[in-house]
């Protein structure tokens, strides 16, 4: 089976709708056809300040949400990044192959460092995409299912793999980003020209998987739309309505056109109610299952440890090969 690798940061108490649609839902569909590695990237999370107790709790919560949403730990290798030392080790090697200017061109770093002031940004935040390249290359992944915002990082990963291969001989599979058209970018409900993100200024447009149903419903009912009152898909002219239609379509598993037809001539309030229903139908079982899993942290830790062992085998094999290629004696 071809290998896929993907990951999420454990940097909040709940995954959001963008994570769920852009990544997690894709992962659960792909896991039966691929040798899948899904990682909770806690080393990435510490590139910005984290409270230690919260980081530990959020690492387990993130893993629990993966499983609750349908990642089967018997099929896929679901593990925590810091439990596999090769990630940090390969990242160091790749740091030495990355140009300073090349790393400086990463738009996510530019956005994040501008938001908080360049002095507040750590060197770790700067080299973040290189650690991500290490994640992917250690498993010889052919494909990386992510949302649109990770495209540039996967491009960098490809460049680094090609560079290593041509300098030291064929070592890495050159991976491809797998970005689903149409759903790779879910927008903030209050600001439908910006992607839904946990670092948005307010949480009013952020839909969280683990929030209670009434909180989510309220946020959806207050979603920004437009003044023409027409229910049709038009990303440019009607970003708010189009975002709602996208969400409705993916979670309700119906084409956008069919939904637009059903709701033609009705108000935005009706459409929002429909969206709230499909969101709740998707999230309610995930919430319940997440709580069940978190009620038995020892069992969760055992699953994660077993997966880390498997990941370690694959990753340390690749790392040994890399060291040998470079001339780092063991």
Q: Are 185 and 16 in contact (CB under 8 A)?
A: no
The residue among 57, 55, 45 whose CA lies nearest residue 199 is: 45
Helices first, then strands: H and E counts in the chain: 14, 5
The smaller minimum CB distance to ligand TYM, of residues 9 and 190, is found at 9
Catalytic residue among 112, 185, 208, 219: 112
Is-catalytic flag, 75? no
What is the residue-wise DSSP string for 235-303? TTT-HHHHHHHHHHHHHHTS-HHHHHHHHTTS-HHHHHHHHHHHHHHHHHHHHHHHHHHHT-HHHHHHH
Nearer to ligand TYM, 26 or 225 (CB): 26
CB-nearer residue toward ligand TYM: 185 or 287: 185
Residues 6+ apart with CB under 8 A from 256: 233, 245, 246, 248, 249
Give me the least distance between CB of 147 and ligand TYM, in Å please.
3
Catalytic residue list contains 32: no
Residue 18 near residue 49 (C-beta atoms within 8 A): no
Q: Rounded to the nearest whole angstrom, what is the least distance from the CB of residue 119 to ligand TYM in the complex? A: 22
**Is 20 or 268 the residue whose CB approaches ligand TYM more closely?**
20
User: Could you tell me which of 231, 236, 204, 235 has the C-alpha nearest to residue 220?
Assistant: 204
Least spacing, CB of residue 314 vs ligand TYM, in Å: 15
List 29, 75, 110, 195, catalytic entry: 195
Residue nearest to ligand TYM (CB): 22
Question: What's the min distance (Å) between Cβ of 243 and ligand TYM?
Answer: 10
Contact of 23 with 30, CB cutoff 8 Å: no
Indicate which residue of 110, 185, 198, 208 is catalytic.
198
185 flagged as catalytic: no
Q: How far is the CB of 88 from ligand TYM (least distance, A)?
A: 13
Closest CA to 129 of 230, 41, 31: 41
Q: Tell me which DSSP letter residue 234 carries.
A: -
Q: Which is nearer to ligand TYM, 225 or 246 (CB)?
A: 246
Q: Footprint of ligand TYM on this chain (CB under 6 A)?
A: 5-9, 18-19, 21-23, 41, 44, 132, 135-136, 144, 146-147, 149-150, 153, 184-186, 195-197
Q: Which residues are catalytic?
A: 112, 195, 198
């Amino acid at each position: 089976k071809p290998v896929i690798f993907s990951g999420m940061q454990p940097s909040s108490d709940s995954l959001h709708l963008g994570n769920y649609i852009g990544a997690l839902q894709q992962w659960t569909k792909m896991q039966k056809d691929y040798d899948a590695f899904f990682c909770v990237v806690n080393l990435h999370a510490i590139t910005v300040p984290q409270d230690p107790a919260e980081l530990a709790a959020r690492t387990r919560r993130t893993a629990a949400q993966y499983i609750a949403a349908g990642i089967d730990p018997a099929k896929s290798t679901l593990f925590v990044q810091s439990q596999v030392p090769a990630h940090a080790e390969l990242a160091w090697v790749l740091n030495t192959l990355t140009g300073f200017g090349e790393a400086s061109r990463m738009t996510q770093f530019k956005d994040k460092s501008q938001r908080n002031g360049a002095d507040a940004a750590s060197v770790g935040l700067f080299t973040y995409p290189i650690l991500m390249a290490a994640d992917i290359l250690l498993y010889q992944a052919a494909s990386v299912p992510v949302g649109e915002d990770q495209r540039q990082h996967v491009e960098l990963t490809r460049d680094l793999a090609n560079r290593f291969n041509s300098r030291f001989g064929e070592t890495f599979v050159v991976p491809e980003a797998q970005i689903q058209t149409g759903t790779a970018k879910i927008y903030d409900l209050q600001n439908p020209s910006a992607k839904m993100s946990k670092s948005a200024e307010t949480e009013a447009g952020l839909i969280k998987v683990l929030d209670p149903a009434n909180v989510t419903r309220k946020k959806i009912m207050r979603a920004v739309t437009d003044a023409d009152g027409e229910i049709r898909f038009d990303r440019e002219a009607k970003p708010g309505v189009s975002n709602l239609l996208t969400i409705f379509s993916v979670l309700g598993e119906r084409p956008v056109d069919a939904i637009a037809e059903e709701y033609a001539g009705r108000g935005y309030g009706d459409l929002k109610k429909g969206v709230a229903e499909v969101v709740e139908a998707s999230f309610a079982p995930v919430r319940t299952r997440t709580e069940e899993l978190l009620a038995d942290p020892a069992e969760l830790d055992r699953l994660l440890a077993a997966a880390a062992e498997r990941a370690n085998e694959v990753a340390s094999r690749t790392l040994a090969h890399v060291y040998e290629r470079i001339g780092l004696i063991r």
